[in-house]
Structure 1
Amino acid sequence: MRILHTSDWHLGQHFMGKTRQAEHQAFCAWLIEQVREHAVDAVLIAGDIFDTGAPPSYAREQYNRFIVELRGTGCELVVLGGNHDSVAMLGESKTLLAQLGTRVIPGVCEQLDEQLLVLHRRDGSPGAILCGIPFIRPRDVLLSQAGQSSQDKQQSLQQAIQQHYQDLYALAEAKRAELGGDLPIIATGHLTTVGASASDSVREIYVGSLEAFPTSAFPPAAYIALGHIHRPQKVGGLEHIRYCGSPIALSFDEAKQQKEVLLVELDSNGLRQITALPVPRFQPLLSLRGSLKELDGQIKQAAEQGSVELPVWLEVLVGTDDYLNDLQLRIAALCDGLPVEVLRIRRERGNASASLQGQAKETLDELSVDDVFAQRLSHESFDEREQARMLALYQQVVSELREGDV
């Protein structure tokens, strides 16, 4: 059984005024080629197929076109909902897409066995059993109790998610026995695990509730396909628990990462082999750092990766303590005539940061919601205990808002 594990496409992402439509289209075409070349039996998308709960029409069209084109390869597709996805929006086409060989699990189902799927080989025979677990919202598995501390809520949520995995895995074992007893069991997930290395574009999804899920709480599945973290990695050094990462760089701090999808081979004995398939870079994206003199050479070097049709997108971090009110004009002069486009200019604070902090010109697109709150909180004369209380209240509000984003 050959499975292709991918996640975090974020179709429809609007990146500092730029659309990612062309990149996503190129990636989808490349992925179809990989499915054919490697005779993949099933593709798993482990959450965040879309960037928002109300994606633009072109993003929905890309999603539908990919499903139609994948069907022509004879490969099955399973789509799991992520924290960026709308349960209602993904679910509205679920029945229709099932006719095209695509099974969608937008959120936790009322009947647990609806999340248990049998994956088939290309000849139609059963090849694996899937515990299809999407992003789990606290209200899906937990009843709120009055008087619980933040730590109590974390522990309760962790136990509830662990129980959800164990219950579904027990159903999978029963299904395996029913089908002959030699099929590998696979699980999915869209969450942060203990020790996972994230990036700037990853939104913390259990703010105030559950920061990270321990690997020891997963069931003994042959392979666990995870989404949410954009950096490809093993979890806790374990070969069979993997984040495949996002297929394109979704923030400048991901620019140097080699993006990949994972080709997972299984048989009756379990996991046989995992092969990382490197995703081509469809849009040059670089973060440059240095003094203006150093940046001159770096920008010229970066321009070698671009063209008139496809300029390099740049983030420029100016590493100097000199306050220059014409910084944008100076950077523009360095880029003049080159196939580069500066999307963001930031000033790195050095030794003079204390005196310059109030002068730094940061724009809202450089700050996350958490950054804005933290900066606002820092201007108040609260003691440490009061600051901690205010932060906890803020996290609770944000958590409740995100839980309600379906």
Structure 2
Amino acid sequence: MRFLHTADWHIGKTLKGRDRLDEQYAVVGQIIEHARAQQVDAVLIAGDLYDSAAPTAKAQQLVVRALLALRDTGAKVIAIAGNHDNAATFDAYGPLLDAVDITLVGRVRPAEEGGVVSFDARSTGERVNVAVLPFLSQRYAVKAAQLVASTPAELSRDYDAMVREVIDALAASFTPDAVNVMMAHLTVVGGSFGGGERQAQSIFEYHVPAAAFPADAHYVALGHLHRRQTLPAPAPVVYSGSPFAVDFGEQDNTSVVCLVEASPTTPARITDLPITAGRRLRTVHGTVEQVVARADELADDYLRVYVQEPARAGLREEVTDALPGALEVRIDPEFAVATADRHPATDRRDRSPAELFADFCAARGVADERVQALFGQLHDEITGAGRE
């Protein structure tokens, strides 16, 4: 049987205040096309469908339409809540989506109550068991008394032990004549961050080792870390990564969905299918003149611009007028450090306030005569200089 593994859509995500819903429609559209072209038996979405626990109506409309479109390809659609999603809302709408053969799981549940989703693959008739483990918050995994009394190391061990217990309980429903898959939203020790994850819910007590997953699983479909990666383990433990870069920290990631082929008697074979929709995120360095000269090359990208010249009034506007996709414009930190190194501290005792302010600006890479003039005017107003 064949299925797609995807995760971390983060629908509704904005970037520096810029709405990206059109991009997200295009990205999800490519996922739907892959599902249709590959005639997959199932689509597994391993959490963080939304970027917020209170998504906008437009974001919810996109996700619902996407789930229905994936269902219309003939695939069994199974999605779980991630740490960005509202687990209670997922469970509230679960029965409604069940009516159209889409499985939405918000919170951890026993196997017999929907913790394991079983179905027959339409292409081969093979039995498939998918154990689902939505994001498990530490406050639900560890008793209140332990939260108060335990050390951080003990809390980490307790979270690990609790997740292992849940995994073992769900995996007990695996059968030897089926393709057995586990889908979870969590951090596995040794995984590399993609750049846009919520750190507080990814490190410290929020992790488990890859060995926590059963060796007899044909595939472990993970969400939470935004970089496509496979971790060493007895079973294939795979993060599909986010299908588009959610922040500049992810600009170098390769966006894919994973096509997985497996049978009850053969190991999983994984093929990465590219996702090319969405605007590219890029970080550029140079003077204003150098950056603006690349306007044609950079016109379709969202940009983080590090300017390598002294700050001055109107600098940002010069960049954004030529490059509307420049969402962040700042002085290059390396340039600022180099500038400060060229202006060591001097003896201040015999220097006027204007001279001291000029030294301060020079040390920070600020070169603007208008700023100096405004300082002089303010100084005169405060000290009364020049009054009759």
Shorter-normalised TM range = 0.7 to 0.9
AA at the equivalent of 1:200: G
1:287 to 277, 283, 290: 283
Cα pair distance change 1:233/1:11, threshold 3 Å: same
Question: Aligned partners of 1:208 and 1:65: how far apart in 2?
Answer: 33
For residues 12-55 of structure 1, give each alpha carbon's deviation from its aligned partner in whole angstroms, at most 9, with x where no partner exists: 11221222211121122222221121110000000000111110
* Match of residue 330 from structure 2: 346
For residues 326-353 of structure 1, give each alpha carbon's deviation from its aligned partner in whole angstroms, at most 9, with x where no partner exists: 4313424xx52x6x42111132322753
CA contact (8 A) 1:157 1:209 kept: no
Deviation at 1:111, TM superposition (A): 6.5
For residues 244-276 of structure 1, give each alpha carbon's deviation from its aligned partner in whole angstroms, at most 9, with x where no partner exists: 111111001222322000000010124241000
* Match of residue 180 from structure 2: 185
Deviation at 1:91, TM superposition (A): 1.5
Deviation at 1:360, TM superposition (A): 9.5
Deviation at 1:300, TM superposition (A): 4.1
AA at the equivalent of 1:327: L
SS state at 2:33 partner: helix
* Match of residue 161 from structure 1: 163
Structure 1, 257-266 or 185-194: larger mean CA deviation: 185-194
Question: Aligned partners of 2:167 and 2:235: how far apart in 1?
Answer: 19
1:214 to 201, 209, 212: 209
* Match of residue 250 from structure 1: 246
Deviation at 1:168, TM superposition (A): 1.1
Cα pair distance change 1:110/1:227, threshold 3 Å: same
AA at the equivalent of 1:66: A
Deviation at 1:359, TM superposition (A): 6.3
Is 2:263 the counterpart of 1:267?
Answer: yes
* Match of residue 195 from structure 2: 200
Cα pair distance change 1:269/1:124, threshold 3 Å: closer
CA contact (8 A) 1:53 1:84 kept: yes
* Match of residue 228 from structure 1: 224
SS state at 1:55 partner: coil
Aligned sequence identity (%) = 28
* Match of residue 87 from structure 1: 87
Cα pair distance change 1:68/1:228, threshold 3 Å: same
CA contact (8 A) 2:111 2:169 kept: no
Question: Aligned partners of 2:317 and 2:57: how far apart in 1?
Answer: 37
AA at the equivalent of 2:316: Q
Structure 1, 208-217 or 37-46: larger mean CA deviation: 208-217
CA contact (8 A) 2:211 2:233 kept: no
Structure 1, 210-219 or 120-129: larger mean CA deviation: 120-129
AA at the equivalent of 2:305: V
What is the number of residues matched between the two proteins? 342
For residues 287-345 of structure 1, give each alpha carbon's deviation from its aligned partner in whole angstroms, at most 9, with x where no partner exists: 21234454344444323xx3xxxxx321112245x34444313424xx52x6x421111
State the Cα RMSD in Å: 2.7
Question: Aligned partners of 2:317 and 2:80: how far apart in 1?
Answer: 46
Question: Which blocks of at least 5 consecutive residues in structure 2 are unaligned?
Answer: 341-359, 367-388
CA contact (8 A) 1:195 1:236 kept: no
